[in-house]
Chain A
């Protein structure tokens, strides 16, 4: 189990803190993802857990042991924290063979050579590299290096595994494959895992829980599907996937959590009210949650009209850019026959797939 409490840190010379009180808890066997744009503090948080960087204040516990506490002046160095970690660059030592790289974390632990050999083979087998054990590590492909790094991280059988953008240096195909392998491996070994990435698809596919970070703070934390479908925060809505934000005017009084109605340039829609960040209210829905409807049907709530401005064909879906006045939204549908630009369309959005972000107080 990994616990981080109120981590605060400011780099010297920086105006804003890189961590502004980050707290989270990772249960045994859980994959917990720190997701966010670059500079949001996700990697700094991970490195603080690893002991590679020290927070200015806060507390970190690994399996109940305090490894960092600014109050108690405890700061256990990384080599005494007993963790496994995969670096973004993999950090495979070029002067050692594959098996030497993997055996490295076992030295100084009082294991017999036999035992070390056995454990190295087991780790290499898990990542499917047993036959490359004696290969000099510079002669490895990116995917193979990634597997060696993983074997090295799990060989010491620590309960905590830290992954720093482990897939970002792989090409798209390999990334997908490794993502599946990583998920399977994690189920099998049951580490408490922190996974850092800026790729929301990776985060959604791999994690038990996701923490979305921005500017040194966790904006929202939750299960991937819930966060994607029912974001509580406009940043979550925007970061986790394609999103429409239509300006709107709220009908009547609204408190967060209420089901309310609002008028957009396209028509009147209903949705759950959430705290927003902008000066004006915004109706949110994902482009593929809107469906085209018969234009001649009678008007009703949750139905809008607009003019087609342009199309983009994205492969699996056709994206329609539609306008009404100054406002534009995107609608994704299955590719099919297209109406001419300028044609008028109608679309519907179910209230459970939309949200209305209130104006900032």
Chain B
């Protein structure tokens, strides 16, 4: 039997190890529980990947993987030989690197300004930076199409009116796509990066001032180099996010035909009418994407391990001393406001404006009397809508609930379980693995699995819900492992000594203590499920429509005002959810822990011990 858990030195009271022979005659229940969690994780995390590997060797054009038994490298040879594939990969690389640089750059600037300087209106800037979290990327892209459409986009028309026509841009170009993706990343990146800025020990900077260096010299010679590991980790993480992102490329690419790998996978399986799906090509591309994502995630984990050593978070030395900006105060604030106006205010404004007009009008006082709420009436009158809302609510609540429960069980097993260390580490790795599975890839794999298995899941809401669990499991496990680690093992042991069994100890001691983290993780997943388009689009049928696919269909069918109206209501609902005080606090807590522990199996296993 395997034994044991890790454990280096530490105080003897905290060492939690059990040992070799012990497991042999330990009680059976822990193994059953561990086995159940392992099986559930294998099902949601490993099965989709294995299915894809299989299908990449078997599937042929328009044949599903289990319709043939012939194994071959044909799909791989095909993508390697196809010039189109290389073009798509090149586009994806450019898109990924560009969007990540822009997103991280904006996030760094905002985080520094908000967390470390005496810039004015910091609270306002903080809220404004986070608002895009409530805007689903698909809706964000739709808003940008209204702003940057080549003929009548609001910004382009305004530029022409001001005689600045040479500044006009085409929202459907790759470059616009990169900027828009970067802007939408910025608020997520902000949460991750702000933690590093917030917890930076200011005495390092003070020492630099003492040595005669000025504010900006210190920023570039001390602060940024010290934060480099944390920033590098964030950059790697968002490189993966950009590489696999789907919503913005598919929305903009619908018109422009600029394709990245994720949209290429989608279009190979959902071809325009008259053409056949190519599951083999999709599978091979998916494996390619997973391999790169996996490598980057691995680098990310190593980087965060390092970051932890570097950015010290000392409760003692930390005083939030802010850097006085002096004359730069207002110019820098103005720069931040440019971001807020361009990336937050204008998209929201145009979305609302467009939702109030059947046909697009350039925003002006004259156009005001044309505004009406017909599209909202259309939406509420749409016979599909009650079903779509019910589907979305059922699916999102159930999937977020299942994800949270599975993540909590996994976190307990990884951090406190009585099974050997080697197995707990494997469990941890398995739980984080879906992080490398892009949405469309998960969607594709689930199509194969449930077309093959004789269970009536394909084409129902269940398959979308299952896909969401896979997609968001790693995030929740990261957050809940962090929460579980903050609960001293002695709190559980004291309950056992008091004569209370394992299960009741969990319910009476552990559950109440991690409850705030559970709620935060649940809501975080819930919000992301509602935002998610790629998965739903891969897996929905007319019976299992959800909000994101409904908006997509309205848009695709040219009902732009109705799509915008639905988008406005979705954003309003998500904003309301985010504004709940518990969510705000929970998210901050979640992200501050995530920044340290998230996605780091080695680290968590070590700390667990």
> Please, which residues of chain A bring their CB within 8 A of the CB of B494?
85, 87, 91, 93, 149, 152
User: A93 near B15 (CB under 8 angstroms)?
Assistant: no
Least CB separation from A74: chain B residue: B25
Give the interface segment out of A50-58, A217-225, A305-313.
A50-58
User: A39 near B12 (CB under 8 angstroms)?
Assistant: yes
User: B17 near A11 (CB under 8 angstroms)?
Assistant: yes
User: B19 near A109 (CB under 8 angstroms)?
Assistant: no
Asked if A173 is at the interface (CB within 8 A of a chain B CB), the reply is no
User: B19 near A11 (CB under 8 angstroms)?
Assistant: yes
Residue among B12, B495, B496 with most chain A CB within 10 A: B12
> Please, which residues of chain B bring their CB within 8 A of the CB of A12?
2-6, 17, 19-20, 420-421
**Once bound together, how far apart are the Cα atoms of A52 and B26, in whole Å?**
11
Contacts A87-B13, A88-B11, A94-B513 given; indicate if A156 touches B498 (C-beta within 8 A): yes
| 0/1 interface trace, chain A 9-22, chain B, CB 8 Å (1 if under) | 11111000000000
**Once bound together, how far apart are the Cα atoms of A39 and B108, in whole Å?**
45
SS class of chain A's interface: helix, strand, loop or mixed? Answer: loop
Residue among B5, B9, B488 with most chain A CB within 10 A: B488
A268 to chain B, nearest CB (A): 44
User: A87 near B490 (CB under 8 angstroms)?
Assistant: yes
> Please, which residues of chain B bring their CB within 8 A of the CB of A90?
490
| 0/1 interface trace, chain B 9-42, chain A, CB 8 Å (1 if under) | 1011101111111111111000000000000000
Asked if A44 is at the interface (CB within 8 A of a chain B CB), the reply is yes
**Once bound together, how far apart are the Cα atoms of A44 and B10, in whole Å?**
13
**Once bound together, how far apart are the Cα atoms of A165 and B14, in whole Å?**
12
> Please, which residues of chain B bring their CB within 8 A of the CB of A44?
12, 15
**Once bound together, how far apart are the Cα atoms of A42 and B9, in whole Å?**
14
Contacts A52-B496, A84-B497, A91-B490 given; indicate if A10 touches B20 (C-beta within 8 A): yes
Asked if A295 is at the interface (CB within 8 A of a chain B CB), the reply is no
B396 to chain A, nearest CB (A): 29
How many A-B contacts at CB < 8 Å in the complex?
Answer: 133
> Please, which residues of chain A bring their CB within 8 A of the CB of B22?
9, 53-56, 75
Interface residues of B in 480-515 (CB under 8 A from A): 488, 490-491, 493-502, 505, 509, 512-513
Give the interface segment out of A100-108, A242-250, A258-266, A351-359.
A100-108
Contacts A79-B501, A88-B13 given; indicate if A13 touches B4 (C-beta within 8 A): yes
Asked if A121 is at the interface (CB within 8 A of a chain B CB), the reply is no
Residue among A87, A94, A109 with most chain B CB within 10 A: A87
B605 to chain A, nearest CB (A): 12
Residue among A78, A95, A164 with most chain B CB within 10 A: A78
User: B15 near A43 (CB under 8 angstroms)?
Assistant: yes
Contacts A91-B493, A108-B499 given; indicate if A57 touches B12 (C-beta within 8 A): no
Interface residues of A in 37-95 (CB under 8 A from B): 38-39, 42-44, 50-57, 70, 73-75, 77-85, 87-91, 93-95
| Given A53-B16, A75-B27, A77-B496, 14 additional A-B pairs, CB 8 A | A12-B6, A12-B19, A12-B420, A38-B11, A43-B12, A53-B22, A74-B25, A79-B502, A80-B499, A84-B497, A87-B494, A91-B493, A91-B494, A108-B499
What residues make up the interface of B, taking CB atoms closer than 8 Å to A? Answer: 2-7, 9, 11-13, 15-27, 420-421, 488, 490-491, 493-502, 505, 509, 512-513
